[in-house]
Amino acid sequence: MPHVALLGTGRLGEAIGQRLLQQGVTLHVWNRSTSRSRSLINNGAILSKDLCNLPINCREIITVLRDGSVTKNVIEQLGPLNNRCLIPMGTIGIQECKKLASHIEGKGGRILEAPVLGSRPQALSGTLLVMAGGEPELFEQQRPLLNLLAEDPLLVGPIGSGAATKLALNQLIASLTHAFSLSLRLVQQAEVPVETFMSILRSSALYAPTFDKKLQRMLDGHYADPNFSTALLRKDMRLFLEEATAAGLQSKGLHGLDSLLQEAKGGDLDDLDYCAMHELTQPKA
Ligand SMILES: NC(=O)c1ccc[n+]([C@@H]2O[C@H](COP(=O)([O-])OP(=O)(O)OC[C@H]3O[C@@H](n4cnc5c(N)ncnc54)[C@H](OP(=O)(O)O)[C@@H]3O)[C@@H](O)[C@H]2O)c1
């Protein structure tokens, strides 16, 4: 079984690590705060303390870090890459991904970006949706590893196309959640029973499964135990807007949602489930 290094054992990284261990991978883990690697180490992962000296037999290095700049900083600390393959799985921008690729290649490494849709449950069960970007030959080489995390990993195109696909999907997460939150508030204000509203919505072409997934949390105001936080969704929304602007798209319609999410910055909602944005659509006192 391969030796794989995993850099970043936060919410998603930890779940990816557990899945790889369970599938028999020899896993070397690094995280800025070692305490967040504890559960993996207890399950057999090997702690790497020094980014500069990752074991030579780790030919694949997966990163699941907060954002593009953290990923770049961490990769800069690695020693010479000697043809090893970097697999960034966190969500980063298209341009950031392309710059990362030049940097990695400059250090003698190779890169296959592999952002994912899905969260901890999907990582733990090996059912993430992987949208890879890079060389087809490298994708085929890494397919067995990706298959431990995803039933049908897809190569969507060259470097940067994985990031573009992922940002396009996360824009939908933000927009759909926001749209649902506002509609839910309006029917509640008008004293229409929520179940009546939901039964019409469920029978319509407008329905998205995420509505039912988040409905109870929104009704209860229960946003604890997140798989994906408000802070990270805000980060992805901002990345989407930057890329859309660079692509010359008219994205004015999204600016309101972006500024709404900015209101949560640094506050209690930041580390809660992203559907805590429902708190931001409350009627003003
Ligand atoms: N959670 C999901 O469901 C999900 C799904 C798809 C994609 N993603 C993406 O995957 C990435 C990780 O998400 P997550 O939910 O696992 O986030 P998280 O729990 O907040 O973990 C973030 C990771 O980045 C590290 N980090 C943050 N700032 C750092 C710094 N300055 N230097 C070094 N390391 C730093 C953290 O280390 P510490 O532990 O030391 O803070 C941790 O390992 C993000 O890009 C996110 O958008 C997440």
Q: Is the CB of residue 13 below 6 angstroms from any atom belonging to ligand 1?
A: yes
Note whether 64 and 119 are same-domain residues.
yes
Output DSSP code: residue 212.
Answer: H
Q: How far is the CA of 10 from the centre of ligand 1 (A)?
A: 5
User: pLDDT by residue (tens digit) across 88-142?
Assistant: 999 999 999 999 999 999 999 999 999 999 999 999 999 999 999 999 999 999 9
Pocket probe mutation, ligand 1, options 65, 127, 225, max atoms within 8 Å of Cβ: 65
Q: Is the CB of residue 46 below 6 angstroms from any atom belonging to ligand 1?
A: no
Pocket probe mutation, ligand 1, options 66, 69, 214, 261, max atoms within 8 Å of Cβ: 66
Q: Containing domain of residue 241, as a range? A: 163-281
Note whether 227 and 181 are same-domain residues.
yes
Note whether 143 and 240 are same-domain residues.
no
Q: How far is the CA of 8 from the centre of ligand 1 (A)?
A: 7
pTM of structure: 0.97
What is the C-alpha separation between 239 and 96, in angstroms, rounded?
A: 10
Confidence band of 2 (pLDDT split at 50, 70, 90): confident
Residue 46 three-state SS: strand
Note whether 9 and 89 are same-domain residues.
yes
| Domain end marker among 159, 187, 212 | 159
Q: Is the CB of residue 29 below 6 angstroms from any atom belonging to ligand 1?
A: no
Structural domains in the chain (count): 2
| Domain end marker among 159, 175, 207 | 159
Output the average pLDDT for the chain.
97
As a whole number, mean pLDDT of residues 258-264 equals 97
Note whether 83 and 152 are same-domain residues.
yes
Note whether 20 and 148 are same-domain residues.
yes
Q: How far is the CA of 233 from the centre of ligand 1 (A)?
A: 12
User: pLDDT by residue (tens digit) across 146-166?
Assistant: 999 999 999 999 999 999 999
**Domain with 169 in it: what CATH number?**
1.10.1040.10
| Domain end marker among 159, 189, 210 | 159
Q: Is the CB of residue 16 below 6 angstroms from any atom belonging to ligand 1?
A: no
**Nearest-CA neighbor of 187 among 197, 202, 177?**
197
**Domain with 136 in it: what CATH number?**
3.40.50.720
Note whether 47 and 187 are same-domain residues.
no
pLDDT at 203 over 80: yes
Pocket probe mutation, ligand 1, options 9, 12, 236, max atoms within 8 Å of Cβ: 12
Sign of the Cα pseudo-torsion (176, 229, 70, 57, in order): negative
Q: Is the CB of residue 157 below 6 angstroms from any atom belonging to ligand 1?
A: no
Alpha helices in 23-67 (DSSP H): 38-42
As a whole number, mean pLDDT of residues 189-216 equals 98
Q: Is the CB of residue 129 below 6 angstroms from any atom belonging to ligand 1?
A: no
Note whether 86 and 191 are same-domain residues.
no
What is the C-alpha separation between 56 and 273, in angstroms, rounded?
A: 38
Note whether 11 and 49 are same-domain residues.
yes
Strand 58-63 and strand 3-7: pairing? parallel
Which atom of ligand 1 lies nearest, measured to the CA of 91?
45
Note whether 149 and 260 are same-domain residues.
no
Residue ID of nearest Cα to ligand 1 atom 48: 12
Note whether 30 and 127 are same-domain residues.
yes
What is the C-alpha separation between 33 and 225, in angstroms, rounded?
A: 20
User: pLDDT by residue (tens digit) across 25-52?
Assistant: 999 999 999 999 999 999 999 999 999 9
Angle between helices 230-246 and 161-189 (to 10 degrees): 120
What is the C-alpha separation between 272 and 11, in angstroms, rounded?
A: 12
Note whether 81 and 181 are same-domain residues.
no
pLDDT at 1 over 80: no
